[in-house]
Structure 1
């Protein structure tokens, strides 16, 4: 379980310190290889390392932002798509270990595989190098995304949907609980709820606007 010298050079160029090669070999190994150990456990750990790294970064850089706004940005920046984009940018697909069928099926360019690989590398980095060093790698690799527009202008309903998925919750449920006013000036009150989290209501002149306002209020309250 030794790394290819080119892979080791690549990892060190990203800012990781490689000592225990089998750990990094595992982080780059997809389950399709049939090896006894693959990246699943390291991906689980790396997901948490990434979340804390980005949350700390946003907290320090966005002192005037409300919690809901921070949560919206966090969810966008740690999403599977965001992780996959970073993995592509650093050339991770050249180093992923896949079984022949998975590679033939295009798994090397799959958002799911690349996103998991990126998180697994961060998990390995945490074990090998500690949190501070791995956070520095995150800040280097995610700098463009954090400086960009990821999560800044997402529609409230999309943001809430992503928040629910990212927190392993059921999808948000919307229902009109009241209609009032004359036909030319109707008012709609919508309740949005997430199972085992909570519910909020908002009122607007259209069902669509009421849903958006309810989603925004939910994120501000629970996000």
Structure 2
């Protein structure tokens, strides 16, 4: 008599593996969607702001004041008569005084939108302390011909959280943006912070 050995039973784990892979893909898609959904709101608000900033700013009747004179300092009498110019304290803000009539470039708009996305990080940190925190923060940013921020004003603040306002304004002040066309430019930036929970 010959005995036949039955084949080993199937483990049946293949169905579980496929189910786990599908669930992981769904979770990854949901996380990606939630992360990018917050940025879309900031991008849309910045886009509407860029449309509003195209309004011409009023022209002042008086011409801007001339730049301050450059002082010259002489070396010690023993050294040859060599003179060195002393840098002006407002050298970083050159071109920001007076009326700004420049145009924000597409790269500049993109950089402002990116900063809006980074501002969301300031808000998210504050949410850890206050889960019901929400509101708007409006900024007026003046960007000089070289792309440096000359001035920044908070035009609206319904958040009521100084840490978020300080974090966002410091981030924009420290920013370096692409140079606008035609001189300095003023940009209105509305940021709407709403918890996604």
TM (norm. structure 2) is 0.27
Higher-strand-fraction structure: 2
Q: Which one has more relative contact order, counting CA pairs under 8 Å at least 6 apart?
A: 2
Higher-helix-fraction structure: 1
Larger Rg: 2
TM (norm. structure 1) is 0.25
